[in-house]
Amino acid sequence: MMEIKPLLKRIGAYILAMVVYFLLHTSVFPNFQLGGIAPNVMIILVSVIGFLRGGNTALLIGMGSGILLDMFSGTYFGMYAFIYLVIGFINSGFHQMFFGDDMKLPLFLIASSDFIYGLLIYGCIYFMRARYDFGFYVWNVMIPEIVYTVLVSLVLYFPIYYLEQWLNKSDKRSERKLV
């Protein structure tokens, strides 16, 4: 039978992480904008949990984070849920490829996720509104956001990484106890 306690611990830890990263995303980093651009903190969380943990967790974290943003965004409810769900799904595909101590793949995945995020918003909303100057949006919104997000993720990657390690360790511990 599945052990309930480690599962609850895991859910609690993820919810806490989502709350913290959401607050960073909406209330902390917008005060430190560079050239009118704030980093996309939520995508770091979704992307990192996506390739560290993979599977259904990635999808649920993605969709949960998206719904959280939807509630405080005032645009189409469900849009962020959809975008972050897709991001979580894509990153979960890299779960098998990831071996802990290398920083290149995480940074590359975070940057690509943010680029896909930009493409989705441009394609679903701006393109539909007849804003065809794609190059402008790439250079003035997407690229600066990616650069800032990657810089911020040099710091914000590690809390999630250690949280995940801690959760895995305590999972194993409780398994051993059962045996």
Question: Which residues contact another protein by CB under 8 A?
Answer: 2, 19, 22-23, 25-28, 30-32, 36-38, 40, 54-56, 58-60, 63, 66-82, 85-86, 89, 92, 118, 121-122, 125-126, 129, 131, 133, 136-137, 140-141, 145
Of the pair 28, 154, the CB lying nearest another protein is at: 28
Of the pair 76, 166, the CB lying nearest another protein is at: 76
Taking the complex as a whole, the smallest distance from the CB of residue 18 to another protein amounts, in Å, to 11
> Quick one: the chain helix, strand, coil %, rounded to 5?
80, 0, 20
- Nearest-approach distance from CB 134 to another protein, in angstroms: 11
C-alpha–C-alpha distance, residues 130 and 159, integer Å: 41
Q: Give the nearer residue to another protein in terms of CB position, either 36 or 104.
A: 36
Tell me the CA end-to-end span of the chain in Å, nearest whole number: 13
Nearest approach in angstroms of CB 31 to another protein is 4
Whose Cβ is closer to another protein: residue 148's or residue 157's?
Answer: 148
CA distance 39 to 22: 12
Whose structure tokens read 């914000």? 156
Shortest distance, CB of residue 82 to another protein, whole angstroms?
4
Nearest partner of 164 among 83, 60, 69, 45, judged by Cα: 45
| Residues 134, 140, 142, 147, CA torsion sign | positive
